[in-house]
Structure formats: C-alpha cells, structure tokens
Chains A and B, each alone.
Chain A
Amino acid sequence: MTTSELVDVLLLQGGRNTTLVVMGTTLLGVAAGLVGVFALLRRRSLMADTLSHAALPGIAGAFLVISAFGMPRSLGVLLLGATVAGVLGVLAVQGLTRYTRLREDAAMGIVLSVFFGVGIVMLSVIQNRPGAGQAGLKSFIYGQTAAMSPTDAVSIGVVAVFCLIATLLLQKEFVAVCFQDEHARSLGWPVGVLDLAMMALVVIVTVVGLQSVGVILIVAMLIIPPAAARLWTDRVSAMLWISALIGGMSGYSGACVSALFPRKPAGSVIVLCAGALFLLSLLLAPRRGVLGEFLRRIAGRVRLATDHALESLYEREIGVEASPPRRGVLLERLMALRGLVVLGPSGPGLTEKGRERGARLRRNHLLWEQYLISHADVAPSHVDWSVDQVEHVLSEDLVNQLERALASRGVAPPTPAEGGR
C-alpha cells in the first residue's frame, strides 16, 4: 500500500467499487447510530444482540434452500432468512418469559446460544458439502466488507438511508414513546405501532449490517455510538446527531481499512473505532467524563481548603480563639492570586475581598450553629463538627430562610464579629 492509495481510498477515489462499499458502510453506521439511540433509551440493546445471533441459522437455512433449488445466491434471500430467524428468536424470548417463569435475561441467553449453536452446526454441514458458493457465508459471522459486491453495497446504502429518514421523521413520536409511553397513549397516539416501528428499524439495521460487521459484532454498532453520545449530552436531539456522527465515522474507517487490507476483519475495525471514540468520550465528556469529574473534585477540594483558611484567618483577625490556619504554600499562593490575601513575612493577611468572604463564612457557621441548637436540639458541645461540613454549602436562599427561622423564635441572628464556639 502506498500513501497515494491510502489517500485515494480515504477521499473515496479508490475506484467505483471501493467507493460504493465505503459509502454503504458509512451510511449503515449513521443509520445504526440513529436507530441505536432509541434502542438504548428503550433498553432494547440486548434484544438486538439476541436478534443478531439468532439470525445465523436463518442465513444458513436460506443458503440451503437456495442451493437445493439451484438458484443463484443473492444477498436478499439470505437476509430474508436472517430476518425470519431473528424475529423467531425474539418471539421465542417473549414466549419463554410468558409461559415459563424465566426472567428475560435468562430467556435471551438461552435463545441466543441455542439458535447460534444450531447456526454453527448448519454452517459446518454446508461447508462439508461439495459445491461452490459457500465461501462468503463466513463473512456473516465475522464481517467482511471486502466480500461485498457493489450491488450489495448499494442496496445496503439504500436501506440505511431509508432507516435514517424514517428515524428522523418519527423522532418526536419515538422520543415520546421512550420517555412517556403512558402519556403518549392517553393523547391517542398509536404507541403499539410506534414501538413496533422502532423494533422493526432495529431489525432492519441489524440484518443489513450482518454482512459487513458480522452477527457477533453488529450489536456494537447499535450500542456503542449511542452510549458514547449519552456521555456528552442529556438532550435527545443532540444525542442523535452525535451518535450518528460516531456511527458514521466508525463505519467509514472500518470500510477504508478493509479496502486497504482485505484480510483484516472489517467488523472488528469498525467496532474498535467506535470503542476508541467511546473511550475518548468517557475520558473527555464535560459532565460525565472521567477527566471532568476529576477536575471538579479537585476544584471542590481547593474551594473547601480556601474557605477554611479564610475563615480561620478572619477569626484570628477579630481575636476569636480558633484553630490555627492550616498552612500550605500552594494554597496561599492561589489565594493571593485571586486577590483574597496578601502574602507577608508573617504569613498571609486578608484583603478587603478576603475579609468579606471570611466574615460571611463565619456568619454562616454561627447561623447554622444557632439553628441546630435552637431548632434541632443539638447539644452545644456537639454542634461544631457537623457545622464545619455544612457552612460551605449554604446558599443565599438558605441563609435567608435560616434568618427567618431564628427570628421567629426570637433569636437574634449572629454577627460575624461576635465571639462563639
């Protein structure tokens, strides 16, 4: 492979066939990302897994039927078989949960493994038969975009675009069904039909993706992009776009790699790409990411330490005996930088801004202390410890409420300069 070859494939200039395969797989990724969002919200991810595993005997059975009648092999018939078997698998799960006391997860596990096992046996039977045409069947297990014919790619692309448009058109309805199906029903919406449509889209995307990603991994296309998108946002519309983007990028890169290295399993590359994007999201997403959480925790700690230091500096200034301020060069520098203290030879001294904040903290402390003593019957000797935790999180609103509560009992609200403790 040369650099120009790489660029050609990446820019969709690598010949008509390659371009079609790459575009088809990318569209599939986008569609799976969109449909997957609703599968995730409706908790159908594992149902999709069962469905795809259960599709294997359908593919093998369809192949056996085709070769028995001597017809040429066509993707359409194989996928029809996959759909029938997949739907049968889902119905079997529902039958098992209804007629036995098995829970859904156990029922899915049973259906998945038995259907898949039967599929494997059928495939091995096919492989032991004389005759050609079975070569491509394995690509349904592991996924191989290189085995795709241009016509297959075009039909996959068309189906993907259909799913994409259907999802976007029905977006509002799907969201309502996912979050408030009771409410949607009371508005007279056909919730059952919409639910079925959602499931049908999952089935279509799964079946169509079988050839490029394989029965074992196709579920990843439905789970990983939405799961990654969920980390970035709480809004469904944004989640849809992010998920579609991640799905599309995964499909695109997987198909490109497959075009460049025909022997690499394309399905794995697609999934790994999605997995890498998921890890990136897990690390970097602002609110739910690991990095963000870490930074927030650090910031919280710094705020707490600053508050403690300011309060004890203030207490020292007004001559109330207090615990000596904890010294820390880094913390003092940081406070000086924010204009809360000035660093002198005898240690930090409060600025006007720092004094104001220290006074407010001390007042909050005393306020809460008095409230606990007068309203919660806490013994004065026990009050200090719990107050130390709470004084930092008192909002202005809460402070006003505390003042009112104390006033109603005729207790004068404390002033910061007052003694105490």
Chain B
Amino acid sequence: MRTYDYLTDPSLGVQFSLGLLAAVAIALLCGVLSVLVVLKRLAFIGQGVSHAAFGGVGLAMVFGLASTEAGLGQELGMFFVVVAFCIASALGVAWLSREDSSRADTAIGVVLAGAMAIGFLLAAHAARRAQEAGELPPPSIETVLFGSFLTLGGADALIAWACCVLILGVLWLVRRPMLFASFDEEAAISAGLPVAKLRLLLLCLLAVAIVVTMRLAGVVLATALLILPGAVALRLSLRLWAVVGLAVAVSLVGTIGGVVLAFELDWQAGPSVAVALLAIFLVAEGVRAIRLR
C-alpha cells in the first residue's frame, strides 16, 4: 500500500494530507454542480471555459503569479486572474451566441481554441523569460493541462474550501428558481423568473469551480469531474435530493479513489480520477442493466 506509506511519511505526509483536503472540497463542489451541468446541458460550455482557463494561467505566468514555489498571495492573485479570464470567456460565448443559442457550439469552439492558443504562447514566453532571468521556472504546461496532486498544498486547500462554501451557499440561496429553470425553462420564463441571468450566474459559478478543479485534474480533465458524477446519479435516481447526494458520493469516491490509484500506479492524478469515475459509471450501468432484466 503505497498510499498508506505516503500519507504517514513524516516529510511528505502533511502536504499530501492538505492535498487530500483540497481534493475533498473539489469533489463536493463538482458533485453538486455536475447535476446541473448534465441537466442544463452545460457540458460543452464547461469544457470551453475550462480550456479558456489555460489562457488565464498563461496570463498569470506572464505576471509572475505562477512560480513553482508561490505563497498564498501569489496563489490568490493567480486564482483571480484565471477566474476573471474564465468568466470573460463564458460571457464571450454567451454574447457570440446571443442571437441563436443553437450556434453556441461554434462560439465555444472559437473561444476555447483561441484562449488555449494564447495560453500556450504566453506560457512558452514566461518559461523562456524565467530561464533567461535565472528565476524559478513557472509550472510546466503539463501540470496545468493535466493537473497534479503533488503541487496541491495548503493554499489550494484554503481556496478550494472557500470556493466550495461560497458556491454551495449561492446555489442554496437560488435553489428554487434555479431548479424551476432547470426542469422547465419555458414555464420559468413565463412565471417571470430571470432565467437568462440565472444561467449567467450558473456559468460564473461553474467558471470558479473549474478553476479550482483544474489544480487537481487539469484543464482537459476537469470536464470528467463535472459530468460523470451527475451522469451516474441521474441514471440511478430521479428524486432531486437523492440525485444530489448520489452525485456527491460518486464524486468523493471517484476523486479519492483516483488519488489512491495515482499513488499506487504512479499515474498523474487527473487521468486517474477520470478513469476511476468512468469505472463507477460503468459499474452503475451494469447494476442497472442487471436490475432491469
């Protein structure tokens, strides 16, 4: 059991425990949001926003906010830069597809690819500049793209839990109109609910959640955490609170299982979490198929 050895290791144990703490917050957050993502068909815009986050990271690197040994201040600075970038991209997609929402996929594609490209160039630039100046190099592109458990630390745990409380709190406050709009948008509009504004709010919350998730699972694989728990839960139950509870449970098991998998097999954390979640999804499908027979 390498996991046990790592966590009880006197030199690394504390950092790993903090990383695990951050992972739990991320799992909670993604579990709840994934239900809304699947219900409101936000999978693609989520993916677009998470790719856009890479552009934000590039920007933060150029500002020198993303060195490998950043303090809490730098971490926070980077967090806000990336969140701002993500929210701007989400609003950009909403604006580009304002006349015809069915064209959103094109808008997402354009914003996604553009932001990624900017990110690559800025990251390359920042790395070269740091090398020339003899400073600590910024984190590698791979870390940002695919996530890493090893770089999670106290600052991440703090940010993750703060965002978790904030986002879940806001969702709790708007739960009634949000659910109404999720299940019957037409009726919600005619009842006078600000459906478009609610959607924008949800997108902003999603953007923040993605930025947090990205630290663990990376830009590309954050999507898995934001879809699979909700997909599993909605297959197993149709009662709302049961779905939310199931999604959170799946998310927690998948994330922690993924981290353990990463320790045991020496994989990166992001892919391991994605694979663990997929395994849960397949098991749930199998159970369902047997039960229905």
A→B interface (CB under 8 Å): 40, 43, 45-46, 49, 53, 99-103, 105-106, 108-110, 112-114, 116-118, 120-121, 124, 141-142, 216-217, 219-220, 223-224, 227, 230, 263-265, 267-272, 274-275, 278
Tell me whether A121 and B121 are in contact (CB under 8 A): no
Q: A268-B120, A268-B121 are in contact. Are A275 and B221 (CB under 8 A)?
A: no
How far is the CB of B180 from the nearest CB of chain A, in Å? 20
Between-chain CB contacts (< 8 Å), 19 pairs: A43-B102, A46-B105, A46-B109, A106-B37, A106-B227, A109-B223, A116-B220, A117-B221, A120-B271, A121-B272, A219-B109, A224-B109, A224-B110, A264-B124, A265-B120, A268-B118, A269-B117, A271-B114, A272-B121
B→A interface (CB under 8 Å): 37-38, 41, 43-44, 46-47, 51, 102, 105-110, 112-114, 116-118, 120-121, 124, 128, 141, 145-146, 220-221, 223-224, 226-228, 230-231, 234-235, 267-268, 270-272, 274-275, 278, 281, 285
Tell me whether A217 and B116 are in contact (CB under 8 A): yes
How far is the CB of A158 from the nearest CB of chain B, in Å? 26
Tell me whether B124 and A102 are in contact (CB under 8 A): no
Please name all residues of chain A whose beta carbon is closer than 8 Å to the beta carbon of B44 when the two chains form the complex. 46, 105, 108-109
Q: How far is the CA of A267 from the CA of B114 in the complex (A)?
A: 11
Tell me whether B274 and A220 are in contact (CB under 8 A): no
Q: How far is the CA of A121 from the CA of B269 in the complex (A)?
A: 10
Tell me whether A109 and B117 are in contact (CB under 8 A): no
Tell me whether A106 and B221 are in contact (CB under 8 A): no
Tell me whether B231 and A102 are in contact (CB under 8 A): yes
Please name all residues of chain A whose beta carbon is closer than 8 Å to the beta carbon of B281 when the two chains form the complex. 110
Please name all residues of chain A whose beta carbon is closer than 8 Å to the beta carbon of B231 when the two chains form the complex. 100, 102, 106, 110
Tell me whether A45 and B109 are in contact (CB under 8 A): yes
Among A40, A46, A113, A275, the residue within 8 A (CB) of B223 is A113
Tell me whether B224 and A113 are in contact (CB under 8 A): yes
Chain B, Cβ-Cβ closest to A271: B117
Tell me whether B47 and A112 are in contact (CB under 8 A): yes
Please name all residues of chain B whose beta carbon is closer than 8 Å to the beta carbon of A120 when the two chains form the complex. 146, 268, 270-271
- What number of residue pairs across chains A and B have CB atoms under 8 A from each other? 153
Tell me whether B110 and A227 are in contact (CB under 8 A): yes
Tell me whether A124 and B220 are in contact (CB under 8 A): no
Q: How far is the CA of A114 from the CA of B43 in the complex (A)?
A: 14
Tell me whether A112 and B223 are in contact (CB under 8 A): yes
Tell me whether B116 and A271 are in contact (CB under 8 A): yes
How far is the CB of B15 from the nearest CB of chain A, in Å? 21
How far is the CB of B139 from the nearest CB of chain A, in Å? 16
How far is the CB of B156 from the nearest CB of chain A, in Å? 20
Among B113, B121, B235, the residue within 8 A (CB) of A101 is B235
Q: A102-B231, A103-B41 are in contact. Are A117 and B124 (CB under 8 A)?
A: no
Q: How far is the CA of A40 from the CA of B103 in the complex (A)?
A: 9
How far is the CB of B145 from the nearest CB of chain A, in Å? 8
Tell me whether A278 and B110 are in contact (CB under 8 A): yes
Supplied contacts A103-B38, A217-B113, 8 more A-B pairs, CB within 8 Å: A45-B105, A106-B37, A106-B38, A106-B43, A108-B44, A118-B271, A121-B271, A272-B117
Tell me whether B235 and A100 are in contact (CB under 8 A): yes
Tell me whether A108 and B274 are in contact (CB under 8 A): no
How far is the CB of A141 from the nearest CB of chain B, in Å? 8
Tell me whether B109 and A220 are in contact (CB under 8 A): yes
Q: How far is the CA of A267 from the CA of B113 in the complex (A)?
A: 10
Tell me whether A220 and B124 are in contact (CB under 8 A): no
Tell me whether A118 and B275 are in contact (CB under 8 A): yes
Tell me whether B114 and A109 are in contact (CB under 8 A): no
How far is the CB of A331 from the nearest CB of chain B, in Å? 31
Chain A, Cβ-Cβ closest to B118: A272
Tell me whether A271 and B113 are in contact (CB under 8 A): yes
Among A99, A108, A114, A227, the residue within 8 A (CB) of B106 is A227
Q: How far is the CA of A136 from the CA of B91 in the complex (A)?
A: 37
Chain A, Cβ-Cβ closest to B47: A109
How far is the CB of A196 from the nearest CB of chain B, in Å? 21
Please name all residues of chain A whose beta carbon is closer than 8 Å to the beta carbon of B124 when the two chains form the complex. 263-265
Chain A, Cβ-Cβ closest to B227: A109
Please name all residues of chain B whose beta carbon is closer than 8 Å to the beta carbon of A46 when the two chains form the complex. 44, 105, 108-109
Q: How far is the CA of A265 from the CA of B46 in the complex (A)?
A: 25
Chain B, Cβ-Cβ closest to A99: B285
Please name all residues of chain B whose beta carbon is closer than 8 Å to the beta carbon of A117 when the two chains form the complex. 146, 220-221, 224, 270-272, 274-275
Among B47, B51, B109, the residue within 8 A (CB) of A227 is B109
